[in-house]
Structure 1
Amino acid sequence: MGMCLPCLGGAADDVVVTPDPDTKRRQLAEAAEKRQKETTNRGIKNPEAVERKKKKQEEMEKQAVTAPSGGGGLRWQVG
């Protein structure tokens, strides 16, 4: 017959020690960050280029907001 109680021998080696709560919390946070990064980069061959393009677009929008809209710029003339 098999031994099913740890006091009967050998089963003490099979016990899994769980990490303390702080370590477990840190590991879970790291795993969540990794999953989030993977999902945001899914289907993108070059994520760095996409990030640079996004920052450039934001800077252009910021400049458009701060630039005066009335005068000083180039104007189109037809005719």
Structure 2
Amino acid sequence: MGMCLPCFGGAADDVVVTPDPETRRRQLAEAAEKRQKETAYRGVKNPEEVERKRKKQEEISKQEMTTSVSGGGGLKVILGLL
């Protein structure tokens, strides 16, 4: 019969050592981030390009917001010059 307990020898190589809780927490967090990235870019061939376009769109919308808040009279100025 085979020896199944590490105290009897032979099976000590089969014992799995679990990491401390902090290391395990970090590993789980990294795995979760990786899954989220994979899910977010599923079917996208070039995720960097998608990210650049998204950032550019955000910048454009911020500029539109600041323009509308700061005066929004750009059209009046142009009409006044005509």
Scaled by the length of structure 1, what TM-score is found?
A: 0.76
Q: Percent identity?
A: 76
Alignment of 1:17-32 (within 5 A): 17-32=17-32
Alignment of 1:1-79 (within 5 A): 1-67=1-67, 68-70=71-73, 71-73=76-78
What do you get for the CA RMSD once the two structures are aligned? 1.8
Identify which range, 62-71 or 31-40, moves more after superposition.
62-71
- Number of equivalenced pairs: 74
Which residues of structure 2 form unaligned runs of 5+?
A: none
Residue 9 of structure 1: how far off its partner (Å): 2.5
